[in-house]
Amino acid sequence: MTTLFDPIQVGQLSLANRVVMAPLTRNRAPGAIPNALMASYYTQRASPTAGAGLIISEATAISHQAQGYADVPGIWSDEQVAAWTPITDSVHNAGGKIVMQLWHVGRVSHTDLQPDGQAPVAPSAITAKTKTVLIKDGVPKFQDTSAPRALVIEELPGIVNDYRRAARNAIAAGFDGVEVHGANGYLLDQFMRSGSNQRTDSYGGPIENRARLLLEVMQAVCDEIGAGRVGLRLSPVTPANDAFDPQPQMLFTYVVQQLAQHQLAYLHLIEGATGGTRDHTQGDAPFDYAALHQAYRLAGGSAAWMVNNGYDRVLADQALAGGADLVAFGRPFIANPDLTRRLREGAALTAVDRTTLYGGDAHGYTDYKTLPT
């Protein structure tokens, strides 16, 4: 029987184990430039025996317009590429693998974070009922998102190109690949769901139109760096950031069927409400993840299947037995740099300190302890 601790080949990536560090926003990159503290944090979690077989970076803005939170890193400038390089070097020297999560927040932003204080962009001019994080006087403050403006169709090729450039930059910075952030109510998810997309052009209306931007982004990123280095994160029923669609099963079945044409590295599914209940539903029926997986395989899809949200050792073993290939852990990896070792040994897990999640310094970031060797 396959266990979490067995190696696996995922597209172009050879992973030492199947325990993945989920992407985690930590707001410790002032000026959108990554730094040495972040190198320590990722390197602490990179050991092939005690840490993650694959680290997915915190969500990283593909452009200034893509930013929606204070002090999150970016990957649009040469300065950012240069600043990420020592981080990927350090992870690799520790024996780890790391991909970058590529992020455009769309409407989940604030004019304070946008170029020239402009309105955030979205499929349609509908304000998200959600909060973003601004840092005021060094203290994180949750604040309502600003009213967005609808993107005109002529702007969409530029956004696809921003993803393409970000993927190229990530590889230049030494990342092993990228994960496109298609989840949690951000731009690509906003386009996919009718709750946030009321467009009347070829990017709105039927599912084929709403999925168009995501599929164009995936094509561009795969063309740029090779599909075997590309993953995608989806969250079919999450209510995060005011995401809503009445027919998620139909929507995401279409999406994964279309993606089967690329030999992607992995598909990453957040099951239920992000960071919350696993049995959350949207629309009129419980979401059937096994049916989604099967539809993808029947369409010829070869990517590794990664599951996430509230997993522990028992649930993870069940998932592997049920056909999943990888399990991503978020908050447990924040508080347990040696999570893989602890799962293998059945050791107790340290609980996460929620007050140090977003912003701050080394405390609650690089000062979580490992078990004695």
Active site residues: 186
By the 10 Å C-beta count (0-12 exposed, 13-18 middle, 19+ buried), 301 is classed as buried
Q: Is 109 in the site for ligand 8OZ (CB under 6 A)?
A: no
CA-based angle 93:223:200, to the nearest 5? 125
**Which of 80, 249, 274, 309 is close enough to bind ligand 8OZ by CB under 6 A?**
274
Taking the C-alpha atoms of residue 100 and residue 176, their distance in angstroms, rounded to an integer, is: 8
CB of 105 to ligand 8OZ, least distance (A): 8
356 binds ligand 8OZ (CB under 6 A): no
Report, in Å, the least distance between residue 59 CB and ligand 8OZ.
4
d(CA 285, CA 192): 19
Using alpha carbons, select from 239, 328, 316, 324 the residue that is nearest to residue 290: 324
| H-state helical runs in the chain | 36-44, 78-93, 156-172, 187-192, 207-210, 212-225, 248-259, 289-298, 313-321, 331-335, 339-345
Dihedral sign computed on CA atoms, order 69, 73, 76, 78: positive
CB of 21 or CB of 320, closer to ligand 8OZ: 21
CB of 354 to ligand 8OZ, least distance (A): 11
Quickly list DSSP for 139-156.
Answer: EEEEEEPPPPEEPPGGGH
- Toward ligand 8OZ, which CB reaches closer, 52 or 273? 273
CA dist., res. 201 & res. 369, Å (int): 53
Residues 108, 68 contacting (CB under 8 angstroms): yes
Task: Tell me if 59 contacts ligand 8OZ by CB under 6 A.
Answer: yes
The pattern of x and - marking residues 165 through 194 that bind ligand 8OZ according to CB under 6 A reads -------------------x----------
Q: How far is the CB of 299 from ligand 8OZ (least distance, A)?
A: 26
Nearest by Cα to 201 from 162, 143, 151: 151
The nearer residue to ligand 8OZ, 59 or 227, going by C-beta atoms, is: 59
Q: Is 25 in the site for ligand 8OZ (CB under 6 A)?
A: yes
Instruction: Rule CB under 6 A: say whether 39 interacts with ligand 8OZ.
Output: no
Q: Which of 240, 264, 265, 307 binds ligand 8OZ (CB under 6 A)?
A: 240
Q: Which is nearer to ligand 8OZ, 101 or 249 (CB)?
A: 101
Number of residues forming the site for ligand 8OZ (CB under 6 A):
6
| Cβ(18)–Cβ(326) below 8 Å | yes
Nearest 5°: the CA angle 146, 270, 106 is: 20
- Per-residue contact track with ligand 8OZ, 115 to 134, x per CB under 6 A? --------------------
Cβ closer to ligand 8OZ: 130 or 247? 130
Angstrom distance (rounded) from CA 328 to CA 54: 9
CA distance 30 to 322: 42
- Nearer to ligand 8OZ by Cβ, of 134 and 147: the residue is 134
Q: State the minimum distance, in angstroms, from the CB of residue 124 to ligand 8OZ.
A: 21
Show contacts with ligand 8OZ in window 193-222 (CB under 6 A): none
Q: Give the bridge partners for 9, in sequence order.
A: 14
Q: Contact with ligand 8OZ (CB under 6 A): which of 41, 42, 69, 175?
A: 69
Give min distance, CB of 238 to ligand 8OZ, in A.
9
CB of 187 to ligand 8OZ, least distance (A): 12
Interface ranges with ligand 8OZ (CB under 6 A): 25, 59, 69, 184, 240, 274
